[in-house]
Chains A and B, each alone.
Chain A
């Protein structure tokens, strides 16, 4: 339950204050920090594996233009601007596979820009 509360809080912050998705706070000890690049029309890595109940920081950089990052099933959303590092923090509280995609139209091939978060035990 406590973990769910933490995740909910993170989600609310991301939705209400998008700038917090790109905050400059350094990663805290114990967090899983994963660097992800975005460019038309792919993420690298496109499969992101994390451990359940362990805080995660996704550090996004764009190699070309503004992209989006949306995981509807985890209620995560962020805007990835070129020239900035966008950090998305969350605590996965359930094991499974969760699709993500670019939700800011970026050209012919935008519909293929997607990936998957795999949450393991």
Chain B
């Protein structure tokens, strides 16, 4: 199966022709949006949450000369949203990696101090490979807690899967066992949202955009009828389905990466001084009672 051939446009076409949903583009700062296909009968109550991803705090380099301001600007943008979310999630790569354990902790402390400025609480975190792959998540856990966990919110079961603390991008049998156990108590119709960093499916293995044993996680999730995955890692929107499971990647808050396979190397999209926030952004997710999820993409800064 050629996952890469299914881009966002095709996904939206799929929604329009097959399984329902609406597309919209309106509102403060919204660039685009789409509706997903969750069951119309499962959510007890409407709610809204925000996904931020790949902030890479501590990064310095030509792909984003304003890196020391991007996260701070994003916090202001989220705080200024007309509709405030119930909670906020960060889908990994909170910090940019470093070999120096002290610098790693310093970056995590700085990151945490900045995002403490978010008005909405709680904020849910998960690790990316830049946070956790060099020390098996040791520093990350000191600052942000468990690498994998679950929680419930207004009728939706959220599961955070760690596919980065193993540097070979494996979830591992122990965590897969936990996932089976965590979901075992749920009805097959229970709405489930999975939050993770890397794509669980083989989006583009040539650029390592995959999870080594992601198929095993997907096999567990396929037993449930209303599963949606939100992830990061690839620094751009991407929308895909494996069976009935929807997978939506988010834009980055440091620099965009090219479309999968569109060029020989996965080098960052060059900085555009005339449009410094081009390709950056975050997502609002409207989990509407009795309706589908609606995704809204927000720009940052003055883009």
Interface residues of chain A, those whose CB is within 8 Å of chain B, are: 66, 68, 70, 72-73, 79, 99, 101, 103-108, 110-112, 114
Residue among B129, B164, B169, B206 with the most chain A CB within 10 A? B206
Query: What 1/0 mask marks residues of chain B from 3 to 35 whose CB sits below 8 Å from any chain A CB?
Result: 000000000000000000000000000000000
The reply to whether B129 and A107 form a contact with Cβ atoms under 8 Å apart is: no
Q: Is B286 an interface residue (CB 8 A)?
A: no
The reply to whether A103 and B134 form a contact with Cβ atoms under 8 Å apart is: no
Query: What 1/0 mask marks residues of chain B from 62 to 98 whose CB sits below 8 Å from any chain A CB?
Result: 0000000000000000000000000000000000111
The reply to whether A103 and B169 form a contact with Cβ atoms under 8 Å apart is: yes
A23 to chain B, nearest CB (A): 20
Can you give 21 contacting A-B residue pairs, CB < 8 Å? Answer: A70-B208, A79-B168, A103-B168, A103-B208, A103-B212, A104-B167, A105-B97, A105-B129, A105-B133, A105-B164, A105-B167, A105-B169, A106-B167, A107-B97, A107-B99, A107-B134, A108-B96, A108-B98, A108-B99, A110-B97, A112-B267
The reply to whether A72 and B206 form a contact with Cβ atoms under 8 Å apart is: yes
The reply to whether B206 and A99 form a contact with Cβ atoms under 8 Å apart is: yes
Task: Please report the C-alpha to C-alpha distance between residue A101 and residue B133 in the assembled complex, in whole angstroms.
Answer: 17
Q: Which residue of A lies closest to B268 (CB)?
A: A111
Task: Please report the C-alpha to C-alpha distance between residue A114 and residue B263 in the assembled complex, in whole angstroms.
Answer: 14
Interface residues of chain B, those whose CB is within 8 Å of chain A, are: 96-99, 129-130, 133-134, 164, 167-169, 205-208, 212, 264-267
Give the number of A-B contacts (CB < 8 Å): 42
With a cutoff of 8 Å between Cβ atoms, the chain B residues found around residue A108 in the complex are 96-99, 130
With a cutoff of 8 Å between Cβ atoms, the chain A residues found around residue B208 in the complex are 70, 101, 103, 111
Q: Which residue of A lies closest to B167 (CB)?
A: A105
The reply to whether A114 and B168 form a contact with Cβ atoms under 8 Å apart is: no
B50 to chain A, nearest CB (A): 27
Q: Is the interface of A mostly helix, strand, loop or mixed?
A: mixed
With a cutoff of 8 Å between Cβ atoms, the chain A residues found around residue B207 in the complex are 101
Task: Please report the C-alpha to C-alpha distance between residue A94 and residue B266 in the assembled complex, in whole angstroms.
Answer: 25
Q: Which residue of B lies closest to A99 (CB)?
A: B206
Apart from A70-B208, A108-B99, A114-B265, what 6 extra A-B contacts exist at CB < 8 Å? A70-B205, A106-B167, A108-B96, A108-B98, A110-B97, A111-B208
The reply to whether B168 and A99 form a contact with Cβ atoms under 8 Å apart is: no
With a cutoff of 8 Å between Cβ atoms, the chain A residues found around residue B212 in the complex are 103
With a cutoff of 8 Å between Cβ atoms, the chain B residues found around residue A79 in the complex are 168
With a cutoff of 8 Å between Cβ atoms, the chain B residues found around residue A106 in the complex are 167
Task: Please report the C-alpha to C-alpha distance between residue A84 and residue B205 in the assembled complex, in whole angstroms.
Answer: 26
With a cutoff of 8 Å between Cβ atoms, the chain B residues found around residue A107 in the complex are 97, 99, 134
Residue among A72, A79, A108 with the most chain B CB within 10 A? A108
With a cutoff of 8 Å between Cβ atoms, the chain A residues found around residue B164 in the complex are 105
Task: Please report the C-alpha to C-alpha distance between residue A104 and residue B267 in the assembled complex, in whole angstroms.
Answer: 18
Task: Please report the C-alpha to C-alpha distance between residue A105 and residue B130 in the assembled complex, in whole angstroms.
Answer: 8
A96 to chain B, nearest CB (A): 13
The reply to whether B265 and A112 form a contact with Cβ atoms under 8 Å apart is: yes
Task: Please report the C-alpha to C-alpha distance between residue A73 and residue B208 in the assembled complex, in whole angstroms.
Answer: 12
Task: Please report the C-alpha to C-alpha distance between residue A108 and residue B134 in the assembled complex, in whole angstroms.
Answer: 10
A75 to chain B, nearest CB (A): 10
Q: Which residue of B lies closest to A102 (CB)?
A: B208
The reply to whether B206 and A101 form a contact with Cβ atoms under 8 Å apart is: yes
Q: Which of B205, B264, B267 makes the CB contact (< 8 A) with A72?
A: B205
With a cutoff of 8 Å between Cβ atoms, the chain B residues found around residue A112 in the complex are 265, 267
